[in-house]
Amino acid sequence: MCRWAAYLGEAVFLEDIVTAPCHSLIAQSHCAQEAKSPTNGDGFDLAWYCDRPEPGLYRDILPAWSDPNLKSLCRQIRSSLFLAHVRASTGGATSRMNCHPFTAGRWSFMHNGQIGGFEKIRRALENALSDDVFDRREGTTDSELFFLLMIDEGLAGDPQGAVSRATARVIDASRRAGFEPALRLTAALSDGESLHAVRYATDAHAPTLYTSVFRNGGGRCLMSEPLDRDGGDWQPIPPSSFVTITRDGMTIRPFAPEPVRLALAV
């Protein structure tokens, strides 16, 4: 299990969410309260949008709490849209290639949860990728592969549909491999304009997700756990939801896997 935070709104210093508050993401890397394990020390990653269409990316394999670079960057960089992630490995080595967020062009993606039985379906899922998308594979994690599945399923034009169809492919591959699907997916994604998130699981244990207005400027946060332990106006996102935040507000829609499209012979 990992912890993550995402923000869209007026530009704020990253530290306002990532390092400064009492239960900031960094604090959660040390002592998470709603995760199976309190420690998320297997690396971290930041993706932030600024003057370029594609995001900046800073990731390392140190625990977030002991990296002075991270602290300095969060103190200096202002952004109106960013994703930040601290990792607790569920498999996959501790390497920079395996740190979320993953990025592709304008898109960024980060994930809390896992694909159960991944080792039994990894190859089938990789084989089904288009050549272009396959060539983007840099690491070995289930999360990166899920991101690639989403790209192949039309992420650019239809984010919710792409997540939904990628979810269905994982479920389908699990059944074909002869085991009950066991996917947990609390993830965020962005194209630099909108911020999306999904909370879903094939069982009753979808990893937690909360949202709150952040400050007066109309910004909004999504987080694995609330930033402040008491107070604040944090709203839990229900399981099987897809959240979209834009400059104009937030919508929460039901989320379900979409049946895999089959190529039909005519």
Active site residues: 2
Contacts of residue 22, defined as CB under 8 A and 6 or more positions apart, other chains included, come to 227, 228, 229
For a second copy, the binding residues (CB under 8 A) are: 13, 30, 38-39, 41-42, 48, 50-52, 55-63, 65-66, 68-69, 72-73, 75-78, 89, 93-97, 119, 122-123, 127, 131, 134-135, 137-138, 140
Give the whole-angstrom CA distance, residue 6 versus residue 246.
13
Identify the residue whose tokens are 């990532």. Answer: 18
Cis ω before 101 (30° cut-off from 0) = yes
With respect to a second copy, which residue has the nearer C-beta, 119 or 230? Answer: 119
Helices then strands (H, E): number in the chain?
7, 13
- Count of other CB atoms within 10 angstroms of residue 242: 21
Instruction: Provide the minimum distance between the beta carbon of 175 and a second copy in the complex, in angstroms, as a whole number.
Output: 19
The closest alpha carbon to 163, from 234, 243, 250, belongs to 243
Give the whole-angstrom CA distance, residue 190 versus residue 222.
12
With respect to a second copy, which residue has the nearer C-beta, 99 or 209? Answer: 99
With respect to a second copy, which residue has the nearer C-beta, 108 or 202? Answer: 108
Structure tokens at 103: 């990025």
Identify the residue whose tokens are 């592969």. Answer: 145
Could you tell me how far CA 5 lies from the centroid of its own chain?
9
Contacts of residue 230, defined as CB under 8 A and 6 or more positions apart, other chains included, come to none
The closest alpha carbon to 183, from 198, 161, 162, belongs to 198
